[in-house]
Copies of this chain bind each other. A is one copy, B any other.
């Protein structure tokens, strides 16, 4: 497994692989890998001849009062997991190389970033799109793999790729959960044992909504209220948003008359967690 820190070298390696007729998969990460990332790597390994993983905690996607400074890191553990997953190259640049003096470009997706997490994290997706555009230009993949836990991120990246004609297949992979249902996230690391229990309310809320829809409820407001009550019945919880929306445009849906995204963001203590499911009316 190659460990590459220089942008130009990564581009050379990818060029060489492409000239050799290899299909390149890329899994962008912020490190501190968990089983969810391992699942992304496994999909990348299966679909590509060469598998690149990137590790970069991207400062521009964190707000001023968010957790950039304390974002968990475990480079040695990450490299071990990458080796086991059959990664061919890990690209891990420095912040200084990614954002040198005079850096002044932005890449934004304008409409669908207004909703959900975009409301409470106004500059977040602009940070995501610029760094993903950069990572794509550096790793030159044929396909790139992202988790569906960050559903809005996945939709935003797909839109950017479509709009800018990046010749890359974006593949979403279903959320991987702990045995008790908690969606895997590097940020789960922040939770105290008591908060960890309350964090289960996110998945319980999603399951409850799913059950309501299965039983015939179609009124989004009623479903969202029920989920809200369920979550707030757990200690330490504070709701950022609960949304039922179109799966692509992310616009609110008052009635569930087609498959829709139920997405939520909840603070548990100081930790902001997100989760989602696709609700089907079949």
Contact surface of A with B, Cβ cutoff 8 Å: 7, 11, 15, 18-19, 21, 102-112, 129-130, 133-134, 137-138, 140, 159-160, 163-167, 249
Docked CA distance A163–B102 (Å): 9
A140 touches B163 (CB 8 A): no
Q: List 28 A-B contacts (CB under 8 A).
A: A11-B165, A11-B167, A15-B167, A18-B18, A18-B19, A19-B19, A102-B249, A104-B110, A104-B112, A104-B159, A104-B163, A105-B107, A105-B108, A105-B129, A105-B160, A105-B163, A105-B164, A106-B106, A106-B108, A108-B108, A133-B164, A134-B163, A134-B165, A137-B164, A137-B166, A137-B167, A138-B165, A138-B167
Hey, which chain B residues are within 8 Å of A110, CB to CB? 104-106
The answer to whether A106 touches B107, judged by C-beta atoms less than 8 angstroms apart, is: yes
Nearest B residue to A108, CB-CB: B106
The answer to whether A159 and B107 touch (CB under 8 A), given A133-B164, A165-B138, is no
Chain B residues positioned under 8 Å from A167 (CB to CB): 11, 15, 137-138, 140
Give the contacting residue for A107; candidates B102, B103, B107; CB below 8 A. Answer: B107
Interface-central residue, A7, A105, A110, by most chain B CB under 10 Å: A105
Residue of B nearest to A107 (CB): B107
Q: How far is the CA of A138 from the CA of B130 in the complex (A)?
A: 19
Please, which residue of chain B has its CB at the minimum distance from the CB of A93?
B165
* Chain B nearest CB, measured from A49 CB (Å): 13
State whether B109 touches A163 (Cβ < 8 A): no
- Please, how many angstroms separate the alpha-carbon atoms of A260 and B247 in the complex? 52
| Shortest Cβ distance from A21 into B: residue | B19
Contact for A109 among B18, B104, B140, B165, CB less than 8 A? B104
